[in-house]
Amino acid sequence: MIKDVLPRNKIPVEHTWDLYSIYPNDDAWEKAFEEVSTELSKLNEFQGRLSESPTVIADWLDVSEEIFTKLGKVYLYAHLFHAADTADQLASVKNAKAKTLFAKTFAANSFSYPELLAIGLDKLNQWIKSEPRLAHLEHHLDKLARQQTHIRSKEVEELFSLVQDPFETASTTHRLITDTDMTFPAVIGTDSTEYTITQGSIRSLLVYPDRKVRHDAWKNYADQHLAYKNTMANCLMTVAKQHAFMAKAKRYNSSLEASTSKSHIPTDVFHKLIETYRKNTPTWHRYWRLRRKILGYSTLHEYDVWAPLTTSSPNISFEQATEWICEGMKPLGDEYVSVMRRGICEQHWVDIYPNKGKTAGAFSACVKGTHPFILMNYTNDIFGLSTFAHELGHSMHSYFSKNTQPLIYAYYTTFAAEVASNFNQALVRHYLFRTNGDRNFQIALIEETMANFYRYFFIMPALSCLELEIHERVERGQGFSADELISLMADLFAEGYGTEVEMDRERIGITWAKFSMHLYMNFYVYQYATGISAAHAISQKVLNNEPNAVENYLAFLKSGSSMYPLDALKMAGVDMTSPTPIEDTFDVMRQLIDRLEVLTNP
């Protein structure tokens, strides 16, 4: 349990990531920043010339890939320093500069799609067969063909690129409020111990055995978000308007279609997820009923949904977590495990523990030419272990895709993003269930698994419903207030809680404001639920030793965006156009609840 959170400069360097593996110092970053800024003129030299020959296109592609590879490193270095300490003003300035350069670079290259389309797809297909340096562009041209009606003139596309930087203002404002400006009243336990609340420590307080600590932490955390509700609602409405503007400007029927069509995903996949979730809410009602019974409470409240169900939860050091994760991932083979272990232990991929000003939660980030970096707010428990396994899944996905694919396909799609992370968690949990038969450990592991499902198969579908509603309102020319968002969110939680959880509508209704990144990414959150479903389907094939299951999964990791995500997932053995993987994952939940019921019966 974290009783106090240190400032960044008090964190031992061995517990931090090695950002100097990107650049040896800030001066080197500044030099690289200036290089990219200067080299943008090289892109201008190709404007209006792509139709000359396949050789010119190949030369442009070589130059643009070199510049974008450099840009990725410039952006990543600044972004990670800022994420580790959002109160560091110098890091904030670097991050802002990098974002601006990012937008300028895309603007400088924005002529390319309109010019390529003007050549004609038939001619382009002939050219890529005649120029070896273009041989890998076949899938890219197919994507271009599908997006043809949504790509505007080079002047308009340049404008779209230029507005991306100012369009970031709403999400940046939200993150600055939550990560920097918010201060939370400390929590006093029943034993008079004081606990500090930060974005990095809140989760550990919500799973604390002392119900007073959980209640006060949940209340204080929610109340601070409520204090900023109007500003954050305005930020969210701003970004919804931006999404609607971009969708209309690019000739899509809706913001949802604009999001899904980029990866060739039917909007029906989104709607089937919501329909399947709502059909299975009785499974959640059953879990809340069992949880209340195990805890011995007459009434279950929102701050009890993470309450420990055993008095002997395991203490798991970061070093122990590393060992168990490496053991759990052995079905994928020696290369996978050795790369992962070396990254953790030798290359310092991970920024491990919370500090003041650190970005909430956890994430993995990687660009072409660097190894992955993982931001953690690690706590010595089963939840910290599972989150670490999750982020390592993202990191290994990035490692394989960026080391296999050329830059144009090196970054996997958002629809595929949450598959590898949840796959890792599934394999590690299977290993721990199999190798540690202690009753309390098994209960704690089920708790963690259900908490993960709560996030991915409860909160995220609820947020997806909210996201659809607010975008549809904006697209109809309507707006929404903070109180309307709170009421909508509370209604959606009431569906999943049923009559089993006593709700504080205002405090649970502010949940949307606690997601300072996810809701600003146009229809991203539903992909958490589809991702966990695909992950469980594929993990079962690997654990059952089905023929070629491991090889197919590794091929999926290496594919990056060289295939449409639905096709890549079919290659790995799962069809996400069907609701079956979602139904099957609810079956996994039901089996866990059955197991918990047996373990907790007297």
CATH number for the domain harbouring residue 157: 1.20.140.70
Q: What are phi and psi of 512, to 5 degrees?
A: -55, -35
pLDDT recorded at residue 476: 95
- Tell me the C-alpha distance between 411 and 404, whole Å: 11
Mean pLDDT (whole number) for 234-248? 93
Nearest residue to 164 via CA among 251, 244, 248, 246: 246
State how far the Cα of 411 lies from the Cα of 364, in Å rounded to an integer.
Answer: 13
With 60 as the cut, is the pLDDT of residue 571 above it? yes
Residue with tokens 């400006």: 181
Residues recognised as catalytic? 391
Instruction: Say if residue 126's pLDDT is above 70.
Output: yes
* pLDDT above 60 for 402: yes
Please report whether residue 349 resides in a domain. Answer: no
Q: What is the mean pLDDT of residues 476-488?
A: 95
- Full domain range(s) for residue 29: 10-165
From the CB of residue 13, how many other CB atoms can be counted at a distance below 10 Å? Answer: 8
Nearest-angstrom CA–CA distance, 416 and 425: 16
Q: Mind listing the pLDDT tens digit for each residue in 503-525?
A: 999 999 999 999 877 888 899 99
Partners of 375 in the β-ladder: 351, 363
Would the pLDDT of 56 be above 80?
yes
* Whether residue 1 has pLDDT greater than 70: no
pLDDT band, residue 3 (cuts 50/70/90): low
Would residue 251 count as lying in a domain? no
Positive or negative: CA dihedral 110, 115, 118, 119: negative
The answer on pLDDT for 44 being more than 60 is yes
Whether 407 maps to a domain, the answer reads no
Asked whether the predicted pLDDT for residue 169 surpasses 90, the reply is no
How many alpha carbons fall within 13 Å on the CB side of residue 236?
32
pTM exceeds 0.85 = yes
Residue 179 lies in a domain: no
Residue 354 in domain: no
Strand partners for 374: 350, 364
pLDDT tens string 327-362 = 999 999 999 999 999 999 999 999 999 998 898 889
E-assigned strand segments in 472-593: 501-502
What amino acid occupies position 381? D
In a domain, 198, yes or no: no
Q: What does the pLDDT average to over 193-216?
A: 89
Contact indicator for 538, 589 with CB cutoff of 8 Å: no
Instruction: Give the tokens for residue 594.
Output: 């059955």
Residue 154 has a pLDDT of: 76
Q: pLDDT-derived band of residue 160, with 50, 70 and 90 as boundaries? A: confident
Q: What percent of the chain has pLDDT over 90?
A: 85
Mean pLDDT of 191-207: 87
Section 412-416 average pLDDT:
94
Whether the per-residue pLDDT at 602 is higher than 80: the answer is no
Residue 123 inside a domain? The answer is yes
Nearest Cα to 382, choosing from 319, 317, 469, 438?
A: 317
- Alpha carbons within 13 angstroms on the beta-carbon side of residue 400 total 23
User: Does some domain include residue 160?
Assistant: yes
What's at 582, amino acid-wise? I
What pLDDT, on a 0 to 100 scale, did the predictor assign at position 176?
85
Name the domain count of the chain: 1
